[in-house]
Amino acid sequence: MFILANLVYAIAVVLKIIISFEIFCIVVSAILSWFPFYNKFAFFCHQMADLMNRPIRRILPPLGPIDISPMVSILILIFLDAFLVRTLFDLAEVLK
């Protein structure tokens, strides 16, 4: 069973890293959207952030000039981190 426990633990670690990276990209993209310059790093961050923001923008109506999709995306990712990743870590502990 320890092999399955290690697999679940590894999946949890990878998910945690991916969620943290996505949150970082969303925050950087939101900050860089205030400035007029554009480079490869900004393009990459915008593309990564749009993975979460684009579907949320389709669901939420716009609130004038304010885009709340980054905030909603971050809240969803925090929920996934606190619930899904923590559950996988706990499951890995139980399987050992």
Contact call for residues 69 and 53 (beta carbons, < 8 A): yes
The owner of tokens 């939420």 is: 60
pLDDT tens for the chain, residues 1 to 96 = 889 999 999 999 999 999 999 999 999 999 998 888 888 999 999 999 999 999 999 998 878 888 899 999 999 999 999 999 999 999 999 998
* pTM over cut 0.85: yes
Distances in whole angstroms, Cα of residue 76 to Cα of each of 16, 29, 42, 49? 13, 17, 23, 13
Listed in sequence order, the residues at least 6 apart from 66 whose beta carbon sits closer than 8 Å to its beta carbon are none
- What are the boundaries of each domain within the chain? 2-95
